[in-house]
Amino acid sequence: MADSDRARPSALLKARLGAQLLAGRSAVSPEEVTARLLAVQAQDPRGFRLAVRARSTGLTAADVDAALTDRRSLVVSWLNRGTLHLVTADDYWWLHPLTTPQLAVGNTRRLAQEGVTPAQADRGVDVVAVAVGTEGPQTRAGLRRRLDAAGVPTRGQALVHLLFAAALRGVVVRGPVIRREQAFVGVRDWLGEPPPAVDRDESLGLLARRYLAGHGPASDADLARWAGLPLGQARLGLAAVADELVRRRDGLVDLADRPAAPAGRSRALPPPRLLGAFDPLLLGWVGRDEVLGPHQQLVTTNGLFRPFALADGRAVATWGLADGVVTVDLLDPVIPATLSALRTDAADVLRFLGLPPRRALARDRSAGDSDG
């Protein structure tokens, strides 16, 4: 169906688009985007960089890498739901003890399945700690060689679960970018001494407040799902900041003092835009039907979240980048102005990634290739 035939986005979706920095004011730094969203899923290296692009103006992937490498203001580690996330260095210190303790049992079980005994796991974490502590940033290949030399199994998925164990124990995070790979570094070597610890009740309240800043309005179930915490803990967090919240007629809650959008833009929708793999817009709540509509299985498959194009607040295409060419596969026919805007945004994707400008290729799934 054409753009004009689509149901208009709800007030709820518009509010969430604004909270996500996809509508209204754009951010001016990678740190601002990351702090607003609190944690950006980061197992896809290009995807988390593109999440920053879509919510900012004038930045490049090199700016994200500078925050990771030079300013040490952003790091990546296994946090919410046991998944890699990009967070600010300041937020790492309280998010790590809040979101990772419950992951240790599963990590031990997976190591055993990969043939790694508890004693070998302990030795492996020690090997990793010594490597980053004495020789600085380490690539995955470099750590594998050291673990192999120490007789610690690394075959199959053993290596990744050993590195996961080291991260869970607060030994390493992913920091600087070295030859396009994000290296592992010692937490204190890279970030310095930790700030005073925040108790769990205070952390839950901070989690609820910060989550709503980038995802509100939302429910307790949304918060629990996103953070990977039990529902009861999500409710405790929301209760801790109840005097800062407003409850909507639909039962969702939001920050009472949410910053106002620029004049005349409080109900603005984002222009047509290409979002990367695992974009936060699809990961922040229990449901994503309003964004994906009938295209759920075309955008998300077996836990993978494909890059997609957003227009009028809805998914209208999937897209990919190969050999320096952006290819847009339309899920529904769109009006010429939308297609033109997506081509313009494709050029910005190439600019952001430092690639030569090329004209995007658009294809209509229902009508065959449209043009080149």
Residues 52/64, Cβ–Cβ less than 8 Å? yes
**Tell me, what DSSP letter sits at residue 272?**
S
Give the up-direction half-sphere exposure of residue 209: CA atoms within 13 A in the CB hemisphere: 14
Residue 361 has a pLDDT of: 85
Residue 371 has a pLDDT of: 52
What is the tens place of the pLDDT at every residue in 311-339?
999 999 999 999 999 999 999 999 999 99
Neighbours of 176 (CB within 10 A): 18
Residue 82 has a pLDDT of: 97
Q: Any idea which residue has 């508890």 for tokens?
A: 118
pLDDT greater than 90 at residue 105: yes
| CATH tag, 200-255 | 1.10.10.10
Rounded CA separation 209/226 (Å): 14
What HEC string does 82-94 produce?
HCEEEEEHHHHHH
Please report, for the chain, the start and end positions of each structural domain, with discontinuous segments joined by +: 3-17+271-371, 30-191, 200-255
Peptide bond into 217 cis (omega under 30): yes
pLDDT greater than 90 at residue 127: yes
CA dihedral (258, 289, 300, 212) in degrees, to 10, reads 20
Closest CA to 292 of 331, 326, 329: 331
What value does the mean pLDDT take over residues 40-48? 97
Query: Mean pLDDT in the chain?
Result: 93
Residue 2 has a pLDDT of: 43
What value does the mean pLDDT take over residues 65-92? 98
